[in-house]
Structure 1
Amino acid sequence: MVIGQAGPVDPSTYVLGPGDVLQLELWGRLTRTVLFEVSPDGKVFLPGAGAIEVAGKSLAWAQQRTSSMIAESFRGVQADLRMVRLRTFRVYVAGLVGRQGAIDVTPVTRASEAVTAAGLATGAARRTIEVRRRSGARLRLDLDSFDLAGRQDLDPVLEDGDVLVVPRGVEFASLRGAFKNPRTFDLAPGDSLSTLLRLAGGLLPSASRDRALFVRFTSPTVRESLWLTVRAIESGAANPTLRDGDALFAFFVAGYHDVALVEIFGEVLRPGTYPIALGKDRLSDLIQWTGGFRAMANRASINLVRASEGVGQDVEFDRLLRLSRSEMTESENAAFRTRLAEHKNVFRVDYDQLAKTKQVDPMLRAGDVVRVEPLFLTVRVDGEVKHPGLAEYSPTRKWQDYIDLAGGFTDRAAIGAVRVSRAGTGQVVKVGSAKTIQPGDFMWVPERHDLDSWG
């Protein structure tokens, strides 16, 4: 398999050699198409014009030379020479790669492409790969400099017979913290702090510009630390040559672009997510930002849900919390009520009370979720009544009136044990101690237990 060509060939830089296939187009007083291959001795033969030696010459030179020779040989004839197929040759990859051996390449293949095709093995160096030429020249392939900084001068174009040797990485330095690309790099000859800073892409905008910590090992187990100013690092004034084990730590600006957010849902005019100022904004402020309550809002039943640190997230509870009552099914509403009652960090707030004094107006925290419940203009009566169900709420009705609307007690009713579950607070109290019945309340009439005279 030959590594494919990446993009068009540049005639000014492409050097011709044996095996390249060219096409000559003639037009004018003579029309003809000629396909020919550069011969092993580096020549091509132009019909009617003779041989021309092109090996080692650029494609642009060959195009210009061909046009002038055709013009001299044929009056009124123009010529165009173009590349049809690139020649292929073999290079060899050795060392810590997944597939050692020969790879077929073209004259535009770079060393990084051949190494990528062979696959780097675990522990292989990325920045000290050697390209050995037949001429005896030694070139360096630096994958990180090419991949991260675009250094094509450290990714040579391959030549016929090149051998690429991938060594094991043995010396390393690292950049940690507020860098665009924090990582550990294997060291190459001549590396300095500025070299790794370029490979890391520089510092993040959120990096603290005050100082950074440079750590160096003076022996295998002993290290020393040096505080450097970030400006000196970026300007190159602080630019030590790196050794194995060196590390630079850059730090973040605390709270950089952080925005504390809360959410509010339910019976308000503009539900959604709002930014808050910590230590300043309160629940009443949030209600005002939403434009106030909708007509059916239960001002006495505002649930403030506060995130618990170190407690796993209840995904289903969070989903239901963001739904309005009309968007829930009956089973979802029942599940939500159960979870709401069990949640330890849920606080019920009466808006009319907090509007009177800031003493009961909670300060908001990041991550708070507020839910304003709807006002139910019904009272539910269930248990040992003849017609369990919902009764229309009226502020003038007493608890006995709702029992009557439900058809009265059954013969099995424990009349003295009637309970009321408050819609606003979730409290369960004896009906006799409830001064009034509120909209949304749930009245429960339990069954009377018979005494066994033989017991």
Structure 2
Amino acid sequence: MGNYSRLLATVILLVSIGSQDIVGQDLSLQRPSFSQLTGDNALSSLGKRFGLTPGAVALPLILEGAVNPSEYVVGPGDQFLVSMGGMITEQLPVIVAVDGQLTIPDIYDGIVAGRLLHDVQTEVMAALRDNFRNVDVGFSLTAPRSFYIHVTGSVPEPGRFVANAVSRLDDALQLAFARKAFDLERLRGGGANLDPDEFARMIPSTTSERPLISQSYRPSLRAVTITRANGSVLSVDLMKYYSIGDVAENPFVQDGDIVRVPPYHVMDAVNVVGDIPYPGAYPFRTGDRLSDLLEIASGSTDISGIGEVRVTERHSDGTATSFSLHTADIQTDGPNDRSISAGALINVSAMVQETAAVYGTVEFPGTYPIKANGTTLKELIEMAGGLTEDANLEAAYVERRRSDLLKSDGRQSDLDFFGRTYLAIERRRNRVAVDVQRNMSGEETFLMRGGDTVIFPPGEESVFVTGNVAQGGYVPYVEGETAQYYIDQAGGAGPETTGVYIFELSTGQYREGGGTIVKEGDTIFVNRVPITDSPELQSLLITAETSRRQIKLATVQTVITGISAIAAVVTTVVAITR
């Protein structure tokens, strides 16, 4: 009977409230209007740009998602809705008073400001259920409160700003950095034909009396402090929020927060350069570690794949020290996560992926990634799917088309013209002396380098015969035959023959003698006595002879000059003695 009396009293109370046009009223109209939230400031002008008329249209509530009761802190101005079901469904809007008190007549009365929403909901729901045991009840937050926060420090427009309980630090700083720009745009929109300096002078702002920040200093968004009403202080690295989306570094603001953006000297910035997505100068933050800067500059919390970094730190005495680390060895706050000092330079080495190519009689010819001086020739062939059935291992060879070794041109030697010309021709050779067949069988191990190319020529079943023969060219290969057999097939050796040389296709090594067994793909060269029977050879001989004569002439001139000098000295001595 007692519960029924309480329920009846509550219904009567609600009916009386309804007579005052509160029951059934749209709760969204209870929220502060746009002008009430912002006043005639930058946000109001921004609202006008989007067609929001102050005082006529309520500011829409924009959320990231459902409010988390375990994080939301209740405060004065928060709007709640008490609902009671049953035969008659009634709703009662209640607001936390300015002293932090929440009152539901005859049901609940207590201080809720500064408490978590979850705790307040639990306490109020318990009170509702105690009073209405057989009725469905509910208690929910319908509109977060608005309040003032203070933004100070190295911002263009310090001062007091309106925020709400779902605003984050970034929201407040956007206003402190951009409000004057909005006001300038508002004046331009009004049709005033004034230059920007005149616009700025027209804006009523007490902050215009503050001296501008020195060019040697910049605002540090990596060391923003938030002083709470209870005296606690948060230090926030907003750059981490912007770079890697760490919302913990962009906290919700609370009633009366004092936000300070400190300045930093540009010489104290930590410079991150090299092969990284966001290189640049970052404000130094006390306690910075290498991982902090690399996460921000890479835009990721996974820095293991960045590679080698070189850190150089300067000291007060003008000296500098450096150290190198591989990011794969860095674990956040681990022993290798070295601390960084102000003004440090972090140089990220470029990630170079070495490659080697394989062409010819393999299943999948192409270019493949390798580890320089780590991947073997056999492993490279396996990457390419292995050899085809018609692969000729004896004809395969390796070319090194990129080398850091200096190839001398012979200028400092006593080589004559022919010797230097021969050296210049030979310097162009880029084959590597490697036995591909022995490497594929596992008898030898050849390590690939970046830019190496392995070629498996298709089997032509022929031997090339050239030089002093009647009809040089390709001769069909016959297994087990000697060089003399192929020379005979090419019409025989010509007169003045001086020797027979057999060059292996794969290694370029040679053997001598007509009785040598020849392999498929070998080249047989029949040499002869030098005869200038071609324009090229005649030109070389003339040039060589001219070079020798010039050397002899220069030698004679030097001797004559020396003798003349000696004669002059002797003449002088004789004249003096007389």
> Which TM-score applies when normalising by structure 2?
0.41
Of Structure 1 and Structure 2, the greater helix share is in 2
Of Structure 1 and Structure 2, the greater strand share is in 1
RCO comparison, higher one (Cα < 8 Å, 6+): 1
> Which TM-score applies when normalising by structure 1?
0.49
- Pick the structure with greater CA Rg: 2
